[in-house]
Amino acid sequence: RFFFDNDADLAIMNGKTLAVIGYGNQGRSQALNLADNGFKVIIGGQSDATLEQAVADGFAVMNVTEAVKQADAVFVLIPDEIMPRVYDEQIAPFMLAEQMIIFASGYNVYYGFIVPDPALDVVLLAPRMIGKGVRDRFVSGQGYPALISVQQDGSGQAWPRLLSLAKGIGATKMGALASSFEEETILDLFNEQAMCGIQLWAFRMAFDVLISYGLSPSAILLELYASGEPEQIAAAYSELGIWDQLKLHSRTSQFGQLSRARLGAGPELKAHMTRVVDELRDGSFAREWACEQRVGFPGLHRLQTLVAEHESYRAEKRLYDIMKKNTEQ
């Protein structure tokens, strides 16, 4: 079910101390939204430019452990790959029974890289929005969707407390959907690995095919994405729906998309999607990624090199240089 502003009571967590650990994409936006809603927010982190920003924004700033000790609820908003170590060393030893810990991603808890004490309230409050949007859409009053879940209810009050905080960051304005750590993790990674990512490789494959027919690299890239048209189309997906936005295209385009493109999304793509979900559910992707992190990301670096050495990457750099030069004039 969806939870809206009317289902949540800011007063439940008002007067409590909320520690936001990490002042990056999500941390800054969520902290500012909570503060605007009258919550007492402190920031825990390591000394770097983001922490200086927190000071400039007027927050009390301290190291992670100190913030955890002072807090009733702890938002863990640091990168997922760093989180387990920080959690084990600087957060977990200082958490008390019934204290609440809030994650914006299900990843570490779902895969068991973080195992919270059973006496804690452990909840998911995951905006389906980049950090900038979490702030901008709070300020504009537009809101944004979020997935929420209670994994552990040490206090017996985890749901009303979570809803209070969800409203505090602006996540119940458009509707916060009850989900689970598992569902959030699988969906988030599936979207990256089977949808967004596949588009990148489809662009590259299209480049290779069209180049082999003698078409110009710049014209190809402009047609595929460099014009900025795809972002207009993506905006229409969320405003009108994926099928109704077809009305914005010519009838020739509609017929082509409904007939030819349908054939491209065939059994191979379905097999890929199924494999992606299977590897997320059986933990093999998470194990591979944990191993990558331990040995210094050799696989990631190899793939980055593979991409950078391709002709489409060089053509993109040349095109963007020309386009940028033109806009600077």
Which tokens in the block code for residue 19? 């520690």
Least Cβ distance, residue 269 to ligand NAI (angstroms): 26
Segment 104 to 143, residues that bind ligand NAI, using CB under 6 A:
104-105, 126-127, 130-131
- H/E element holding 221? helix 217-221
Least Cβ distance, residue 205 to ligand NAI (angstroms): 28
Q: Which residues, 6 or more positions from 58, have their beta carbon under 8 angstroms from its beta carbon?
A: none
Segment 152 to 181, residues that bind ligand NAI, using CB under 6 A:
none
Query: Binding segment for ligand NAI among 17-25, 164-172, 246-254, 294-302 (CB under 6 A)?
Result: 17-25
* Pairing of the two strands 176-178 and 60-62: unpaired
- The footprint of ligand NAI on this chain (CB under 6 A) covers a number of residues equal to 23
Three-state DSSP state, 272: helix
Q: 170: phi > 0 → left, psi -120 to 50 → alpha, else beta; which?
A: left
Which tokens in the block code for residue 272? 């890929």
- Binding to ligand NAI by CB under 6 A, coded x per residue (else -) over 60-89, reads ----x------------xxxx-x---x---
Cα 267 to the chain's mean position, in Å? 29
Q: With respect to ligand NAI, which residue has the nearer C-beta, 82 or 202?
A: 82
Neighbours of 240 (CB within 10 A): 13
Which tokens in the block code for residue 75? 């938002």
Q: With respect to ligand NAI, which residue has the nearer C-beta, 77 or 169?
A: 77
Nearest residue to ligand NAI, by Cβ distance, number only = 24
Q: Should residue 46 be labelled a site residue for ligand NAI when binding is judged by CB under 6 A? A: yes
Q: According to CB under 6 A, which one of 50, 149, 151, 172 is a site residue for ligand NAI?
A: 50
Phi, then psi, of 60 in degrees rounded to 5: -75, 130
Q: According to CB under 6 A, which one of 5, 8, 23, 164 is a site residue for ligand NAI?
A: 23
Phi, then psi, of 20 in degrees rounded to 5: -100, 115
Which tokens in the block code for residue 125? 């409050």
Q: With respect to ligand NAI, which residue has the nearer C-beta, 127 or 221?
A: 127
Q: Should residue 45 be labelled a site residue for ligand NAI when binding is judged by CB under 6 A? A: yes
* Interface positions with ligand NAI (CB under 6 A): 22-27, 45-46, 48, 50, 64, 77-80, 82, 86, 104-105, 126-127, 130-131
